Structure 1
């Protein structure tokens, strides 16, 4: 059976069991089967080819399973922040399916409270901290948990200071880094929002489109830190970086233009905070003129 047919079957079964008592266990069983299928694939033309979704918002569960199958010796520990209550995240299936341990953080104490009360929380080596992460505290928060251990995967998705947080983390050198990029900033300019410790996406602009950093900016930072861009997901919001000493014939470096994916999702809001379903170009127009920092020149300029 082809991988495409397996994924199609998986989606039908997922829809059928949604809401039933067996929902999570059925999804995890199907996800484990798909993980085995993507693991045997060697070189792929794009990370899109190995996508599937169990607990990730998009197809990132499959991408992660494929990458770790080509890096079998990396440490089985992860860090992810911006997880809300962990119902939907990029590391939960990694924890469940591969028994990785990890640290997750979210700025909402209510989210972490709900996470800790989940019936499965005791089964895994998961540390969940309620904290609003800034570039001043992120390194110490991680260092306290890491305790000089090596990390296999870091995922940053805070819809705001993502670039600045990655730049501030010095205590670890993860094998894999997953960074949310803001495709609204386009594929060419290396820009990020100026740092603000209390940045909140919908306070900065009602549309929610002014946040984070461009793929080019994150990739410049990655190269300076010793990482190579190997692709993005098909949704056009997550970029995958692997430490350069771990690259191999199946994990190859891509340029920004080759890896960039324009998203099809339409998550912008109107002034009453209602979804307005604007296109990618329309969302770009909404934030034209707002200040961005060019990470090459160091100058703040209009987007």
Structure 2
């Protein structure tokens, strides 16, 4: 197929995707979009495929991660459609919800707030897609010592398709500890006020809560470089992030490498929001007792 025809085809398909994305809140719309990605994969080279910036949309994610995840799994496929989400809030706005509600995934969700978990269980129990078999939603305070036991005792172990982690605290230590599941894709929040070249996290504290008033609210979480180092040891590569640069996506080495090659931290942080955050907030907390990784 010649280059001119390929470009016309790509323009046609991406135009369809944009039209579908205007009404992304139905299962049918998303299934159509996923089908377009599968068609593009058959007809275009990896270099000609859309970028994360072109596929994002939000149904239940806070930002455009629903669209990014749909795109990734349209290209790499799924194995068991199992997802573990750590700190899912009430489940109505999280990484797993769209996959569970609109694509038939099976979920294990955790949150430390009892009220949020109660609301989440009510939400999924009443939803048309999940009332017969809602995701397991667990109220627990997660530590590096109990995380594997809690995941396993709730029926999740071995290979899963997705792990989402957003604690705003001991993220590095919890991620380091997890070994009872082997996700193919990981999406996690990192702290983008920390410059790209610094590998830092907070000291581990079992009852850490970033809003407890005993430390600066921005003294929390982990830098992207530290998380990249950790996940590289576990066999993952950084493949991108959302448009604000703090939610990062990693994929297991050997999975989808042609379509999702490793990218640099600088490319994930190359956006106005991250640059603004580093410039305005890092100086306020750089003197605090960060741990070098």
Give yes or no for contact 2:111–2:139 (8 Å, CA) kept in 1.
yes
TM (normalized to structure 1)?
A: 0.81
Shift of 1:291: 1.3
Alignment deviations for residues 14-45 of structure 1 (CA, whole Å, 9 cap, x no partner):
8xxxxxxxxxxx54444444444445444346
Summarize the alignment of residues 21-100 of structure 1 with structure 2, pairs less than 5 Å apart.
26-42=25-41, 43=46, 44=49, 46-100=51-105
Shift of 1:262: 4.2
| Structure 2 unaligned spans of 5+ | 1-11
Aligned partner of 2:143 among 134, 137, 141: 134
Summarize the alignment of residues 192-231 of structure 1 with structure 2, pairs less than 5 Å apart.
192-203=201-212, 208-231=217-240
Alignment deviations for residues 235-259 of structure 1 (CA, whole Å, 9 cap, x no partner):
2121111111214311211232233
Cα RMSD (Å): 2.5
Q: Show the counterpart of 1:102.
A: 107
Q: Secondary structure at the match of 2:174?
A: helix
Give yes or no for contact 1:184–1:283 (8 Å, CA) kept in 2.
yes
Structure 2 vs 1, CA of residues 185 and 204 (structure 1 numbering), >3 Å: closer, same or farther? farther
Query: 2 CA distance for matches of 1:206 and 1:104?
Result: 28
Structure 2 vs 1, CA of residues 181 and 147 (structure 1 numbering), >3 Å: closer, same or farther? closer
Q: Show the counterpart of 1:172.
A: 181
Shift of 1:125: 4.3
Alignment deviations for residues 106-150 of structure 1 (CA, whole Å, 9 cap, x no partner):
001111111111211424441000011111111111122235442
Count residues with an aligned counterpart.
272
Alignment deviations for residues 143-196 of structure 1 (CA, whole Å, 9 cap, x no partner):
222354421110101111111101011112111111111111121111111111
Query: 2 CA distance for matches of 1:176 and 1:55?
Result: 18
Which is further off, 211-220 or 73-82? 73-82
Query: 1 CA distance for matches of 2:93 and 2:38?
Result: 22
Query: 2 CA distance for matches of 1:125 and 1:105?
Result: 14
Give yes or no for contact 1:193–1:212 (8 Å, CA) kept in 2.
yes
TM (normalized to structure 2)?
A: 0.83
Query: 2 CA distance for matches of 1:4 and 1:287?
Result: 44
Alignment deviations for residues 209-246 of structure 1 (CA, whole Å, 9 cap, x no partner):
22111110000001100111111111212111111121
Q: Show the counterpart of 1:288.
A: 286
